[in-house]
Amino acid sequence: MAIDAAPTRTLPFLRKLTRHARIPVNAFEEAGTQANGDLVRLHMGPFRPYLVTHPDHVQHVLARNQPNYVREGMFWDPLAPLLGEGILSDGDSWAESRRILQPLFTAKYVNSLAERMAEIITELIDETVVPGRPFDVAKGVSAIVHPTIVRLFFGAKISVADINRLVPAYDVAVTAKAIRLVMPFVPDQFPMPGDQPFKKAIKAIDEVVYPRIRQARMTDGEGDDVVSRLVKAREDIAGAEGERRIRDDLVAMHGASTETSATALTWAWPVLQAYPQVAAKLYEEVERVVGDDPVTTSHLPDLVYLRMFVQELLRLYPPGWILPRKALQKDVVGGVTVEAGSTVMLSPYLTHRLPRFWDRPLEFDPERFAPGEERSHRYAYWPFGAGPHVCLGQHLFMMEAPLLIAGILRKYRPVVHHDGPVTPRLASSLRPVAGLSMTLVPVERR
């Protein structure tokens, strides 16, 4: 069949990147504004990825013609030693992992994890927050989110020493390759800063994860943590091969859940400071629904505004801000030919800011997500991805986020020490500027 395609518009991108060297997200934002939903190519020297932002095109790449767009290529390959051949790979090994993992994430299991999560988060807030003393926002959030996920995934048996090894190792592993994300044209063989720390981090992760898997296998996956569930689900594959598959899925899931959750929750505080009316509504709701009590999953259905707040947070600051794919075959998207073998970059960050689909796109307004509000397009909002690869942890996160935010707000008010707007910085996920600090001030109750 002859395919009619319009000539592709190419935007000079290297110059933008140089101009926005400190905040590369801004280079993408500028390109997104210029593209205004059209499918364009970004000129990055020899490397010219396609930029996909229009919801119709997102739907095409992630859902309708998904098998043609695989997680391979310059972005994914450097991460392969961390993620292995499981749920964050593609093709047959991904399909096999998805078949095993999806049934684990039933509503019943996710609810039971959330109940446990509520207890852990309450404990960790009590342990880590020092009222009135300034702290680094990203580190403070991470000190709650990372151990929470580790304890949920590995169960009560994981030692404090192992938690203390895993948490920083993951932090390094998921961020060390960030530089390659904005410089994907640098071949993998060419050493870049971050390569050595990345290797060391994987070694540290494996030294904790493998023994825990073996231990769970010896007790036939008894227990309700994620490792035990995985061990049970993979009973059919014995020996080292089975261990490796469990490791790949576990490590990939862990990586997918900690960095994303911690990043999203780091944005909550500068946003509350920048939008006092939103903050006032949220404080009122938490006070009314939770009051003095520890937050539990039973509060969640009544924390309606908090849920809207989290959805809006993920609209403006989706942690997985860029999703790269490789096109296996030539295709036509939005009238533009996509060459076989080329890289396609999708970005919820840019789709979520398209004026064609969002009124006042740069304004933080949770009311967009008020119950009954209609979405302009099903694929105009996709912080958790879409299609067959859609996030397996979205429901867990939509419980984790209110538990943590309400857990803090029931006792404290945040004061962020920063003048002017808080901007994103270079990382594989959309983190706020480094060194952002805040103080939590105890709520005065009459």
260 is in an annotated binding site: no
Q: How far is the CB of 26 from ligand HEM (least distance, A)?
A: 21
Left if phi > 0, otherwise alpha if psi is -120 to 50, otherwise beta: which for 372?
Answer: left
β-bridge mates for residue 414, sequence order: 440
Residue number with CB closer to ligand HEM (169 or 337): 169
Quote the CA–CA distance of 61 and 54 in Å, as a whole number: 11
Residue number with CB closer to ligand HEM (55 or 385): 385
What H or E segment, with its residue span, contains residue 12? strand 9-12
Q: Are 52 and 58 in contact (CB under 8 A)?
A: yes
Beta strands in 204-363 (DSSP E): 323-327, 331-333, 336-338, 343-346
Q: How far is the CB of 142 from ligand HEM (least distance, A)?
A: 13
Name the burial class of residue 323, with classes exposed (0-12), middle (13-18) and buried (19+) by CB atoms within 10 angstroms of its CB: buried
Residue number with CB closer to ligand HEM (411 or 431): 431
Residue number with CB closer to ligand HEM (53 or 260): 260
Residue number with CB closer to ligand HEM (228 or 260): 260
Q: CA dist 341 to 2, 4, 68, 134, Å?
A: 20, 20, 10, 49
Residue number with CB closer to ligand HEM (69 or 412): 69
Q: How far is the CB of 128 from ligand HEM (least distance, A)?
A: 20
Q: How far is the CB of 264 from ligand HEM (least distance, A)?
A: 4
DSSP 440: E
Q: How far is the CB of 443 from ligand HEM (least distance, A)?
A: 26
CB atoms within 10 A of CB 355: 12
β-bridge mates for residue 69, sequence order: 327
Residue number with CB closer to ligand HEM (88 or 144): 88
Q: How far is the CB of 131 from ligand HEM (least distance, A)?
A: 27
Q: Are 86 and 104 in contact (CB under 8 A)?
A: no
Residue number with CB closer to ligand HEM (217 or 326): 326
Q: How far is the CB of 318 from ligand HEM (least distance, A)?
A: 6
Residues with Cβ within 8 Å of residue 327, at least 6 apart in sequence: 68, 69, 338, 339, 340, 341, 342, 343, 344
Q: Are 142 and 443 in contact (CB under 8 A)?
A: no
Among all residues, whose Cβ is closest to ligand HEM? Answer: 393
Q: How far is the CB of 53 from ligand HEM (least distance, A)?
A: 15
Which residues of the shown chain bind ligand HEM in the complex (CB under 6 A)? 71, 87-88, 98, 253, 256-257, 260-261, 264, 318-320, 323, 383-385, 389, 391-393, 396-397
Q: What type of residue is 428?
A: S
Residue number with CB closer to ligand HEM (71 or 212): 71
Quote the CA–CA distance of 213 and 250 in Å, as a whole number: 10
Here the tokens at position 32 are 């997104």
Q: What type of residue is 177?
A: K
Name the burial class of residue 4, with classes exposed (0-12), middle (13-18) and buried (19+) by CB atoms within 10 angstroms of its CB: exposed
Asked whether the CA dihedral 9, 14, 17, 19 is positive or negative, the reply is negative
Q: How far is the CB of 249 from ligand HEM (least distance, A)?
A: 8
Q: How far is the CB of 268 from ligand HEM (least distance, A)?
A: 11
Give first-to-last CA distance, the chain, whole Å. 74
Q: Are 436 and 138 in contact (CB under 8 A)?
A: yes
Q: Are 325 and 346 in contact (CB under 8 A)?
A: yes
Residues at the annotated binding site? 391
Residues at the annotated binding site for heme? 391
